[in-house]
Structure 1
């Protein structure tokens, strides 16, 4: 399984993803699910992937190959005029990759190649933008009402983000919020696992503002995990007591 989150802040974009893939409890591997490309002074683009690993790797490999092509029509990541254009082309590529895999595998494997992508980035002269791209190739964009997207194993970490998110929060607080969200997911589901990849894209930076891999022995993440657990227990016992007798 997977857990990836992308959120929009007034200051820019914050992304985090896990790296665990598994096909059963005895076949667990680590694969990067976050990828980024940049043109200094012009654009910074990142994607996170969830779903069938062969499908997502095929999409990322094709995107990477296209960045080396001189033909601007195929070089969407580097030459696309807007983030909407980039989202449209990645959606087409994702849909085509899934359709090719399904055709080669026959009708019995029609549901095995699904994948979804979070696209984030900024092109010079425009605002930072965040998209969720579905297996069918269509997509939606983050808004004031929906300022963050999740893919993969979303249910355990979502309540944390909903309660703690503020569009005007600092990058540091946003990272702390995501650390708590991922810790809650890791505790609840073994199919999501460390290391975690973190990427902060500041508005008009067109380069990673902050980039980090969070490993098993990361002191900050471990402190967040233990402190959050203690804080939850403390909050629980501070709630009004329930009594069997009528109040």
Structure 2
């Protein structure tokens, strides 16, 4: 399992992903789940992946082959006029790869080859876009009412996003929120873990990234963030209203 999220802001797009892959108790490895494709001043795209590693790697490899190939009739990222076209393309590649493992006569029949992707970025002349691509190949977009998307182990990191993230949230705040969301997931699920990658794409810049960093497991900032969050959560809990008024009200009824 893994955890990736992306946030659509007025300022741009925030992406965050872990790097842990668990294929059993004796096989825990790290692979980057963040893939970047860009042509400066023309288009900038980021692809996050979760689910079956073989499928996601095959999809990324095919994207690269199509970019490098000489088949003028075949779609590639350079031909896309909209990010939504790229989302459809990624969905098609994913479904095609999964089909190799479906059917009674296919090798590995019954094996779950599903993969889910988050695609975000911008093509020159168009607004920034953010999409979640399902294993079935269809996709949805982020909205102003729900300006973030998650894939993988999503439940532990969702509460902080619901409370903090709005379209007008500053990029630096959103990046910190993404890291807290990631750290909450790391703490509660052993199949999610560092290195953690975080990237901010500034709207209309058409550059590969405005800010990017990678935090290893023992990075000092990650340790400080975790301690500060834990300390403040405890303090907030201690400041919650006590139950005495409930007990007093119940006692008054009797």
Smaller-chain TM-score range? over 0.9
In the aligned structure 2, how far is the partner of 1:131 from the partner of 1:60?
A: 16
Q: Secondary structure at the match of 1:67?
A: helix
1:65–1:137 CA distance, 2 compared to 1 (3 A): same
Which residue number corresponds to residue 149 of structure 1? 149
Task: Give the direction of change, closer, same or farther, for the CA distance of 1:49–1:167 in structure 2 (3 Å limit).
Answer: same
Q: Which has the larger radius of gyration?
A: 2
Partner in structure 2 of residue 232 of structure 1: 233
Query: Hey, what does 2:165 align to over in structure 1?
Result: 165
1:66 aligns with 2:85: no
Structure 1 pair 101–108 and aligned structure 2 pair: CA distance change class (3 A)? closer
Residues 190 and 105 of structure 1, relative CA distance in 2, 3 Å threshold: farther
Range that drifts further, 118-127 or 215-224: 215-224
The one-character-per-residue Cα deviations of 1:144-201 (angstroms, maximum 9, x if unpaired) are: 1221110000000001100011211111111110111111111111010000111111
* Shift in CA distance, 240/195, structure 1 to aligned 2, threshold 3 Å: same
Separation (CA, whole Å) in 2 of partners of 1:117 and 1:154: 13
SS of residue matched to 1:154 = coil
* Residue in structure 1 matched with residue 221 of structure 2 by the alignment: 220
Structure 1 Cα separation of the partners of residues 247 and 43 of structure 2: 64
Which residue of the partner structure matches residue 248 of structure 2?
246
**TM-score, normalised relative to structure 1:** 0.95
Task: Give the 3 Å change call, closer, same or farther, for CA 73–4 of structure 1 in structure 2.
Answer: farther
Matches within 5 A, 1:25-174: 25-103=25-103, 106=106, 109-174=109-174
Q: Structure 1 residues 30, 242: closer, same or farther in 2, change over 3 A? A: same
Whether the aligned pair in 2 keeps the contact of 1:76 and 1:85 (CA below 8 Å) is no
CA contact 2:147–2:165 (8 Å) conserved in 1 = no
Q: CA deviation at 1:107?
A: 8.3
Equivalents in 1 of 2:216, 2:75: separation in Å? Answer: 34
What is the distance in 1 between the residues matched to 2:124 and 2:72?
17
Query: Please, which runs of 5 or more residues in structure 2 have no aligned partner?
Result: 250-254
The normalised TM-score by structure 2 is 0.92
Q: What is the CA distance between 1:83 and its match in structure 2?
A: 0.9
Give the Cα–Cα distance (whole angstroms) in 1 for the partners of residues 126 and 219 of structure 2: 36
Please report the RMSD computed on the Cα atoms of aligned residues, expressed in angstroms. Answer: 1.7
Query: Alpha-carbon deviation of 1:109?
Result: 2.8
Shift of 1:227: 0.2
Partners of 1:78 and 1:136 lie apart in 2 by 24
Aligned to 2:212: 211
C-alpha displacement of 1:104: 8.6
- Structure 1 residue 72, shift from structure 2 partner: 4.6
How far off its partner does 1:217 sit? Answer: 2.3
- Segments of 4+ in structure 1 off by > 4 A? none
